[in-house]
Structure 1
Amino acid sequence: MPLPAALAHVDTWIFDLDQTLYPHEAEVMALIEGKMTAFVARETGLSQPDAYALQKSYLFEHGTTLAGLMAHHGVEPRRFLDEVHDVSLDTLVPDPELNAMVASMKGRRIVFTNGDEPHAVRILEKLEMTALFDGVFHLEHANYIPKPNLLTFELMMKAHIVDPNTAAFFEDSPKNLKPACELGMKTILVGPKADGNTDPWVHFRDLNLKSFLRNHLG
């Protein structure tokens, strides 16, 4: 199946990591979020429910829980990241069909994640996808400033010499696609939030990455 006309010009494919390169149903992020809540509760002395509410508030206001903890509590990022990413990856299983689809995509392929380098390395190795990508832009590269901050997009584009007008970005978070669209990228929302999404900055939507690639790039 040929590329949709709106993607025919793309020569750089950018992928979020968590819940984009693997299904939301794997629930790896649920494990990480549980560790985040425990960290926030211990750091602030709040109850688990209140810590969860604060965690989500920081996520909404700052882009990540970590950014909020750094801004308001002076948390050292390495301590937080090492703790919350120490979760089982037993639910992640390599998908040879998906990997073959990604490998067949013409042009460069870059991972752009709000996770740190050890987490990205661990996830990609578990999925057997490491060799599929030409580069990874992670949170340390962005000085711990997360998506959707425009500066982080600019740093990623500078580091990997990305022309946004010939790039496409896959994400599971609609808010992270807004700056991508404003910069000129084509945007593809995958995962549960794609169902019913009407954000004008989202160009394509699908239930998961594999479904999109099968339907449009297969």
Structure 2
Amino acid sequence: MTSLLKPRSDLPRMDADSVLIFDLDNTLYPSACNLFAQVSDLIGNYVRDTLSLEPDEAHRVQKDYFHRYGTTLRGLMTEHKIDPADYLDKVHDIDVSVVAPAPDLAKALDDLPGRKLIFTNASRGHAERVMGRLGIADRFETIFDIVDANYIPKPQQEPYDLLLARDDINPAKAVYFEDMAKNLLPAKEMGMTTVWVHTDVEWAQAGNDDPRIDHHTDDLVGFLRTLAKAA
């Protein structure tokens, strides 16, 4: 089932100049596979070991940094000067086999004109492994990861500015898909069409009722097919 906040006539018209921008985790694959739970556990272990904390305190610090800084990584860099490369290597050492290949998603992407990009708070290596597992890596022109963002996470403004400048994106021609609703709001303010991909993850809900979000969907493939029909 595809849920839209606006009728089909309000969908953006897709053409060769269009740009589809996708978040990665819990957007291009279902949150139900719990892939990010593996990352979260490894982040907790990293905080525990790096700061010499008991597990409960490490969990508290992990969540506190996430909420205050946008990512636990940003909090650790700001307050403890940790090496971000070491962090990203360790917390993304996960089993991606829990993600099912997605031939329907690959076909839906093929049927849409324009450029396709990944915009993620995770690392490029993590994105490449997940996209490889999904079977969609060759559908995307490029990845903009947390390193490209100078380790400044969404929804802070700087990564959006850097993405548009690096990849020469006209925001009026861009459609941005994201599971964390609040991350859509800077994109909308820049002129992008915004699509919230529903998830049951609690921390992704903030901002989902904001009227600046153009569309909601609980079926990414179905939404992409609707876009293709409207092209």
TM-score by length of 1: 0.92
* 1:82 aligns with one of 89, 95, 114: 89
Which among 14, 22, 29 is matched to residue 22 of structure 1?
29
Does residue 8 (structure 1) correspond to residue 13 (structure 2)? The answer is: yes
Distance 1:216 1:107, change over 3 A: closer
Is residue 23–residue 208 contact of structure 1 (8 Å, CA) maintained in 2?
Answer: no
1:13-162 superposed matches below 5 A? 13-162=20-169
2:14, 2:113 within 8 Å by CA — same for their partners in 1?
A: no
SS of 1:90's partner is: helix
* Aligned residue among 144, 164, 172 for 2:171: 164
Corresponding residue for residue 3 of structure 2:
none
Is the contact made by 1:111 and 1:135 (CA closer than 8 Å) also made in structure 2? yes
* 1:177 and 2:184 matched: yes
User: Which residue of the partner structure matches residue 207 of structure 1?
Assistant: 218
- Residues of 2 paired with 1:24 and 1:115: CA distance? 15
Displacement of 1:124 in angstroms is 1.2
- Deviation string, structure 1 residues 153-198 (Cα, Å, up to 9, x no partner): 0100011100111111000001111100111111101032588931
In 2, the alpha carbon distance for the partners of 1:138 and 1:81 equals 11
Q: d(CA) in 2 for partners of 1:149 and 1:4?
A: 31
Report how far residue 41 of structure 1 moved.
1.5
CA-to-partner distance for each residue in 1:30-72, whole Å, 9 max, x for gaps? 0000000111112223322222222122112211110110001
How many residue pairs match? The answer is 217
How far apart, CA to CA, are the structure 2 residues paired with 1:186 and 1:7?
7
Separation in 1 of the partners of 2:114 and 2:191?
17
Shift of 1:9: 5.8
- Contact 1:177/1:202 (8 A) holds in 2: yes
The 2-side partners of 1:124 and 1:151 are apart by 25
- Residues 134 and 35 of structure 1, relative CA distance in 2, 3 Å threshold: same
How far residue 217 of structure 1 moved from its aligned partner, in angstroms, is 3.8
CA distance in 2, matches of 1:17, 1:158: 20
Q: CA deviation at 1:152?
A: 0.6
Q: What root-mean-square deviation, in Å, do the aligned CA atoms of Structure 1 and Structure 2 show?
A: 2.0
Task: Report the residue type matching 1:69 in the other structure.
Answer: L
**Using the alignment, how far apart are the partners of 1:9 and 1:126 within structure 2?**
27
